[in-house]
Amino acid sequence: MESAILLETQDLEKNYTLKKKTLFGKKAEVLQAVNKVSLAIHQGETLGIVGESGCGKSTFARLITRLIAPSGGKVFFDQKEITAMAQPEVRSLRKDIQMIFQDPYASLDPRKRVLAILTEPLEIHGIKTAKERRELAYEMLEKVGLQREHASRFPHEFSGGQCQRINIARALILRPRLVICDEPVSALDVSIQAQVLNLLLDLQEEFHLTYVFISHDLNVVRYFCDRIAVMYKGEIVESGDAETIYQAPVHDYTKKLLQAIPKSIESNEE
């Protein structure tokens, strides 16, 4: 039996107007960053969104978190239409939907200690007392494979992989239901990438998380996701079960993406 739908988009659109200078003055050009995207994400599953830079996958992530407003279409989270929500409601929505970003360093405030970084989201939402918040932060640090002692350090004292662990701890401290991972491992070395992927899988089991996993690396997406949606020029060109798409891609663009993966190791093993 399939689990309930957690997030659903209906004909979601985002257009940007570009002003282009021509010989005869300015001309407006419309760029459709996200074009009529309808997707459903079920509770507890991992949906991978694949495509190259500029295909609209990050814009899509920002639309479903309501960091930006859509030009058209609707987004439902837990059957509530979030595209129609007023600001105070959106704020409480942030507790349920969190994000992890690509650049592990740039997404941490360099002037704050780890403890302050981790307790800030709790403070913003007025959860618990200061002491309880600290305890939660320590607990979360251990959950992501770091130690209590790390709480008093600054982000620059950590490696890229460790910083990404801190980012994950910060995202999960509010106990969100949906986590959007925007290329969370593409800035990391391969062995660190494996550590972070394993951690995300462990945490998913522990907290029953639903992930939207954005990446351009099909090997990683095949490993990590249950379903894949392939995005090209703002549209979903193919979607379905991850393994099926990997084994038998239908759309030309998906085939092209798959061919681009370096495959020599695999073929040597066989």
Partner 1 sequence: MSDDSNLLSVKDLSIDFLQEKTAVRAVDQVSFDVKKGEVLGIVGESGSGKSVTVTSILKLLPENARYTEGSISFKSEELLSMKEKQLRKLRGNEISMIFQDPMTSLNPVFTVENQLVEAIRLHAKLSRKKARQEAIRLLQIVGIQEPEKRIKLYPHEFSGGMRQRVMIAMAISSSPSLLIADEPTTALDVTVQKQIIDLLKELQQKINTSIIFITHDLEVVADLADRLLIMYGGQIVESGPAKTIFANPLHPYTRLLIEAIPHGNKKSGRLPTIEGNVPSLSEIPQDVCRFKERIPWIPDQAHEINPKLREVEPEHFVRCTCYKHFWMKEAHEKK
Give the shortest CB-245-to-partner 1 separation in angstroms: 11
Contact between 85 and 77 under an 8 Å Cβ cutoff? The reply is: no
Specify the residue, 44 or 160, whose C-beta has the smaller distance to partner 1.
160
Task: Please compute Rg for the chain using Cα positions.
Answer: 20
Distance between CA atoms of 145 and 191, rounded to whole angstroms? 15
Least spacing, CB of residue 84 vs partner 1, in Å:
35
CB within 8 Å of 131: residues ≥ 6 apart = none
Instruction: Report helix, strand or coil for 78.
Output: coil
User: Cβ distance 140 to 114 under 8 Å?
Assistant: no
Q: How far apart are CA 182 and CA 198, in angstroms?
A: 16
Q: How far is the CB of 148 from partner 1 (least distance, A)?
A: 17
Nearest residue (CB) to partner 1, 125 versus 256: 256
- Tell me whether residue 12 or residue 225 sits nearer to partner 1 (CB atom): 225
Residues 105 and 155 sit within 8 Å (Cβ to Cβ): yes
Please state the closest distance from residue 268 (CB atom) to partner 1, in A. Answer: 5
CB 197 within 8 A of CB 223: yes
Q: Which is nearer to partner 1, 71 or 219 (CB)?
A: 219
Give DSSP secondary structure letters for 137-157. HHHHHHHTT--GGGGGS-GGG
Which residues face 17 on adjacent strands? 30
In angstroms, give the least distance from the CB of 255 to partner 1.
11
Q: How far is the CB of 233 from partner 1 (least distance, A)?
A: 13
Half-sphere exposure of 59 (CA within 13 A, CB side): 26
Contact 230, 50 (CB under 8 A): yes
The burial class, CB within 10 Å (0-12 / 13-18 / 19+), for 160 is middle
Q: Which is nearer to partner 1, 18 or 86 (CB)?
A: 18
Can you give the binding site for partner 1, defined by CB under 8 A?
52-54, 159-162, 189-195, 197-198, 201-202, 216-220, 222-224, 242-243, 246, 256-257, 259-266, 268
Select 38 or 159, whichever has its Cβ closest to partner 1: 159
CB of 51 to partner 1, least distance (A): 9
In the complex, the smallest distance separating the C-beta of residue 78 from partner 1, rounded to whole angstroms, is 25
Tokens 């989201």, residue located: 121
Among residues 97, 106, 132, the alpha carbon closest in space to that of 118 is found at 132
Closest to partner 1 by CB, 250 vs 261, is 261
Of the pair 109, 189, the CB lying nearest partner 1 is at 189
